[in-house]
Structures are given as C-alpha cells and as structure tokens.
Chains A and B, each alone.
Chain A
Amino acid sequence: MRSSLLRAAHAPTELGMKIAFVTPRYGEEVMGGAEGAARSLAEHLVADLGHEVEIYTTCAIDHLTWADVLSPGVSQLHGVTVRRFTSAAGRDPKFSDLDARIRVAPSSRSIEDSVAWVAANGPVSESLVEALGDCDADVVAFYPYLFYMSVHGITRVRQPAVLHPAAHDEPSLYLPIFQRVFDSADAICFHTEAERSLVEPVLHTAATDQIVLGLGTGQASGSGRDGAAILGIAGRPYLVSVGRVDEQKGSTMLYEYFVEYKKRHPGPLALALVGPVSRPLPEHPDVVAAGIVNEADKWDIVAGAEVAISPSAMESFSLVVLEAWVARRAVMVNAVCGPTMEHIKASGGGLSFEGYLSFEVTLERLLGDAALREHMGEQGARYVASRYDWPVLIRRYEAFLESVVARGRRSEVKR
C-alpha cells in the first residue's frame, strides 16, 4: 500500500498499511467506551491483518480527572505501539459550571467559548498534538470527536484523517468548533445508522466519504462458572448491567428503578452492576456493584443473568448489548437511545423502556416468560453473527482505510 520510503524505514509488514489512532486514553485499564473500541480495532488490524498500528494517547486512565498515572514514552501492548504523552492539564475544576452554561443553546456559542470548553474538558496535551505533525502513518484515525487531541490534531496531520465520532445527542455536538473538526476529516466511520443520522444534519457531513461499521464482538469466553456465585449471591436470579457505573450512563436511574421494582415485587431477584464505578451507589441488599472483573468472570456473569439491561441514553454503539446477545441473553434498553434501539429493532433481541412503569411491566413480562427470553437471546445472537463478526468487520474497515489512503489528504479545513 505504502509507496514512500517511509515504508522501507518501518517495514514491519510487507504490504500492510501503517495506521495511527489518536485517543485520549488507552490500555487494558480502560474498559469499554470509544477508547476501548479504538483498542479493539487497533489490535485486530495487527493480529488479523498484519498491519502496523501505533497509538497517540496520554498517560491518563481516569476520564474524570485525566491525571497522568502511566509513564510517558513508547511501549508495546498486544503488538500495538503505544506512544504516551503527558498532559499540561486534566479536567478543569470549573468544567461543570462551563458545561452547564453551554448546555443552553450550544450552537450559538462562539468558537472561543467552544475552544475553552474543549480545554476545560481535558486532557490538554500539546506535546501529543505536536507529535502528530511528525507522524509517518499512512492514515490517522481520531477516536472520538470530543477531545483536545481530536479538535487540534485533526488539522495538524498531513495524512488522510479518519474521524470516528462516537457521537451521542449531547449539547457539545452542537458547539461550533466541531464543525471545523468534521470539516477537516477526509472520512468518517460511524458506529450505527442512528449515529450517522444524528451527525449528518447537524454537521453537514453527507458528502464526506463514510462507512457505518460498528464494532466486532468476541466469542463468549467464560469459564463455565456460576455467575451468581461469582457475584456472591449464589442461588439467586439476577439482572446484569455491564458498563461504567455513572449517573450519565443511567446507572442511578437503573438503581432507583430496581429498588422501586423490588419494593413492589419482593423476592430473591438481584441486580448486578459490572464495571468501573465512577459514582458509588447506596448499598442495598439486592444490588451488587461488582466493579471491574476479568473477562472470564464478565462472560460468566452475563451468561447467568436473566436479562441484561442497558440503561444509558447516551450510547454511540453499545458493545455490551451485543455481548449479551453473544451470551444469548434477552436485553432491555433505554427507549431514547438511538443506537441500542437500532440494535433491538433490527434483531428482535430485546425490549425497551421509557420510564418506570414501562420498566416494570417490561421486566415482569421478560422474567415471566422464559421462552420469550430464550427467543430474544437467539435472535440477538443471529444478528451479531451476521453483522459484527470480527473477520468480516475488520476486512470492511481495512478496505475503507485503503480507499481513504488512495484518495489522500484533501485539505486541512474544507471550508
């Protein structure tokens, strides 16, 4: 693919591309989200197709502080070269106030306000952005759109730039600075049709080269242990919600809904929350906050659940919904979340709720009908196998990147 002398200088593969990903945090400590998606794509490009991949990222793990906790410099992770840069600033303590202000009519904010918001959101790593100017990859992928390195880096690179927005319907999407970011992308890779439909009319991206890709799912890799036993609630039926335990991800709502449900439906049913805890929830005898668990335990816990629930309204893809279907579990999703609704409509693998009463009635229906749950789990598994099998998906991504490289960098800012 590469014809320049740079290929000879690196030459880890004979015919492969060199792809750079730019993402605010990266590593095994980072669970799910856009950064986890970037890692999955990077590792599959290396392992399955033999391309060379390097990551430009910070030393942060915590998305709330962006504090530097990992060492700067170059390291290797599963065949991927990771270049870490320190940050001059993490999350600004005044960010919440600034964020609250821009929530009112964000599209009418000035570029200066937008730039200030991006900087306050953090992490601010000018050294990372500077380094992108010397990047010798064939193509640079920015993942997601929202952070300093995407905003300032996408105009800095000389190579074709692919933007993975991972956008939700959030006020920041309408900040004027992001029009420049999307204008500077040579191509866009969306997670779902819902994400594309959201972004297109807001940022006028229709003529930009694009693909709706999604993410691949792995095989269920549990060890066959009893999920309830792993959670310390052996013998009890339980619901599971995998993902960051965070108010913005709907965890507080799910907790409150479940507690109300249990008041009205006493019994052994429990709720397991699996994932890093950003905001601790009150202790409750029927709620288990398992925190971060290893992959095998995660799959065993999901496989043992009666129903998997995705309470978040702010998803751009939701790998955890697909993983629940790999484990043949029925799912319940938030009815105002476009991407997860797209998944359940296309698959028939689950139901949705849009308030407490519909949560209660839907859950009663699923828990009371094992055949329906089994049917939905099977439908979901078929959907995942047909669309998000890694070998197929990573080839599509490769073909897309090749076409982007072939077309070359159009301009730094198109208009």
Chain B
Amino acid sequence: MGVDGFDLDQVRREIAAEVLARRTSGSVDAVEERRLQRLFEQYSPHAGGVGALSDALRSVDATIFIDPDVPVASSQPAGAAIKKTVRKANYWYMRWVTTQVTKALSNIAGVLHQVGSELDRINRRLDLVSNDTPAVIQLADADAWWHNRASEAVARAKGRVLVAACGDGSFVATLTALGHDAYGTDPRAEVVPTHGDSLDLRREGVIEHLDAVADAMLAGVVLTGVTEAMLPAQRTWLLRALDRVLAADGIVVLHLLKPEFLSGEARPVALELAGVEPLRPSTWVSVLHDRGFGVNLVDGGPDALIIASRGPRAN
C-alpha cells in the first residue's frame, strides 16, 4: 500500500483485469478495435536492428489486414462520386484479392509467432544456466591494501579505465584524483550514488556493460569482486570481452578472494546462491598467461591481486 492509501500496482492490476474482461465480452467491435490498435502500433518503436522480436511481430500483426475498401475522398468536384462508383464496380475483385493476400500474410505471421515462441522458450532455458548479472562479492573496505598496488598498475594505462564493481565509487575517485580517466559500473543499485556529481558511475553489471563497449576502447579494466560468482560460461565470456575491449597495451587488474577463505560460514550468501566455485588466483594467472598476458600475482592474505598486461609492457 502506498502513501495516502493508494496502491498503484493494485490500480494497474485492476485496470488490466477490466481491459481483459471487456475484450472477452466483445465490448468493442473486434474490427474496430483492430483499427484502433493499428493506430497505436503505427508509430510504436519496433527497433530496426536489435529490438525485441515481440515488438516487430506486433508491427507485423498491425499491418496484416489488407482493406478492400479503397478510400474515395477527393479534392476534385465529383471526384469522390467517381471513385465510389469505380470502387463499387471493382469491389468483388478487390475483395477476392485482398482476402487471398491477408490469408497468406496471416499464415506467415503465424509462423513468425511460432518462431518467436520457440526463441522465448530457448531464451528461458538459457537464463537457467547463464544469469546476465552475476552477484558482486563485497571484498574489502575503501582503504584496502590493494588500492595502492592497483593504482600503480593503472598508472601505465593511457586512456579510459573501467572499475567493476565500483561500489560507492571510492576507487574511481582515487584514480580520478591521480589524473586517470576512470569510471565505474556496479549492478548493486543500492550502493551506487544516484546523480553522482563529478564521477561517472553506472548501475549495470560488468557483462552487460562490456557488451556495449566498442573494440579497443579501454586502456585498463579493474575487476574487484565480480569474478567469484561467475558461472564458467560467464568467465569465458569475460575473457573474450577483455580481449576485444582492451587497447593493444591494455592492463587488467583482477582483485579476488581466495577460495579457501570462502568456505564454511565465511562463504557469502550470494556465492552460495550462485552455486559456483571461484577459481584460485593461480588458475587465473594460468588462464591469463595462456591468453597472452604478462601476469604478476600479489598475495594479500585472504585476497589476491593479479596484474595482467598486454603488449610491449607485459612482464
């Protein structure tokens, strides 16, 4: 229940139920409702490239019916009467043609809907094995030991540096104060300041974010607490994304908790729910090395820092 006694979700549910009831009862003539719905669809976004299939199908549905009633309005005297006569004379033919076309288009639309449904089903299954936004594991407080080491590593990056997950933006602020062009992302809406002033902080997950970064746009990527809860497929995706978005001499700083400190009661709830086992730092070192990075491992006790460089500066 909202303030002042209004539950807007309930209001919306009641409206939806009433709409359904009127549609079921035939409150509005079906042909007329279709005409009115076509007006709604006509300038609705349908996404020319990557939009939802359902939106595109709605546009198809809205244009399927071919109207045999040719408009007869005319700006010329007697024009409307002449057009009306021609329409009347040809109506049997126009109706026959438009009926065939409408039937054919309806069949095609039906197939498209089946394809759409099948894609929905597949996507739902994929969601079961690959959540787009893996949970962030809170690793350390703002003045953590690794900040200095990470700052030193990022100092070599010549360009934009991404920090994920950035939390309240404290490490982004540190890098910015040092003169770096840094920004952050974090899917945890509750920890990212809204309308932050000078810092560029976004509320989104690292996978979703990197997916929308152009090739070779980043000089550095700092990852802290984002890899622990990743599924194997997501880790593979992340490595491929890093290959793509990093500049030729890009740097990756990977801050992570060691699995042995994540057992028993110390195991974060998010990790438990994800049902995954984080990789050991030495495994990450091996994986990054195999992908052409020069890698340094810094042991911090329960957590570790991996600094991986590509290009001539790799060590």
Residues of B within 8 A of A390 (CB): none
**Contact present for A348 and B15 (CB under 8 Å):** no
Chain B 212-241 per-residue mask, 1 if CB under 8 angstroms from chain A, else 0:
111111100000000000000000000000
Given A183-B214, A207-B213, A414-B217, A202 and B50 contact (CB-CB distance below 8 Å):
yes
Partner of B48, one of A105, A211, A249: A105
Residues of A within 8 A of B32 (CB): 260
Given A205-B212, A257-B36, A351-B12, A168 and B48 contact (CB-CB distance below 8 Å):
no
**Contact present for A250 and B43 (CB under 8 Å):** yes
Q: Is A77 an interface residue (CB 8 A)?
A: no
Residue among B19, B43, B44, B212 having the largest count of chain A Cβ atoms under 10 Å: B43
**Contact present for B36 and A356 (CB under 8 Å):** yes
Residues from 291 to 335 in A contacting B, C-beta threshold 8 Å: 312-314, 334
Residues of A within 8 A of B4 (CB): 371, 375, 378
In Å, the complex CA distance between A192 and B55 comes to 21
Q: Is B42 an interface residue (CB 8 A)?
A: yes
Chain B 100-128 per-residue mask, 1 if CB under 8 angstroms from chain A, else 0:
00000000000000000000000000000
**Contact present for B200 and A209 (CB under 8 Å):** yes
Residues of B within 8 A of A207 (CB): 160, 162, 183, 213-214, 217-218, 245
Q: Taking chain B's interface residues, is the majority helix, strand, or loop, or is none over half, making it mixed?
A: mixed
In Å, the complex CA distance between A172 and B47 comes to 10
**Contact present for A357 and B212 (CB under 8 Å):** no
**Contact present for A247 and B215 (CB under 8 Å):** no
B53 to chain A, nearest CB (A): 14
Residues of A within 8 A of B217 (CB): 204, 207-208, 414-415
**Contact present for B43 and A248 (CB under 8 Å):** yes
In Å, the complex CA distance between A211 and B11 comes to 34
A399 to chain B, nearest CB (A): 5
**Contact present for A375 and B6 (CB under 8 Å):** yes
Q: Taking chain A's interface residues, is the majority helix, strand, or loop, or is none over half, making it mixed?
A: helix
Q: Is B271 an interface residue (CB 8 A)?
A: no
**Contact present for B45 and A336 (CB under 8 Å):** yes
In Å, the complex CA distance between A242 and B8 comes to 25
Taking residues whose C-beta sits less than 8 angstroms from the other chain, chain B's interface range is 35 or more
Given A313-B43, A372-B6, A414-B217, A351 and B49 contact (CB-CB distance below 8 Å):
no
In Å, the complex CA distance between A336 and B16 comes to 16
Residue among A249, A257, A354, A399 having the largest count of chain B Cβ atoms under 10 Å: A354
Q: Is A107 an interface residue (CB 8 A)?
A: yes
Residues of A within 8 A of B44 (CB): 313, 334, 336
Residues of B within 8 A of A403 (CB): 198
Given A170-B45, A206-B209, A365 and B36 contact (CB-CB distance below 8 Å):
no
Please give the residue numbers on chain A whose beta carbons come within 8 Å of chain B beta carbons, in ascending order: 103, 105-107, 168-174, 183, 200-202, 204-211, 247-250, 252-253, 256-257, 260, 312-314, 334, 336, 338, 348, 351, 354-358, 360-362, 365, 371-372, 375, 378, 387, 396, 399, 403, 407, 414-415
Please give the residue numbers on chain B whose beta carbons come within 8 Å of chain A beta carbons, in ascending order: 2-4, 6, 8, 11-12, 14-16, 18-19, 22-23, 27-28, 32-33, 36-37, 39-40, 42-51, 55, 160, 162, 181, 183, 195, 197-198, 200, 202, 209-218, 245
> What 9 A-B pairs are tightest by C-beta distance, nearest first?
A169-B45, A206-B212, A356-B36, A107-B49, A171-B48, A174-B49, A174-B48, A204-B214, A200-B212
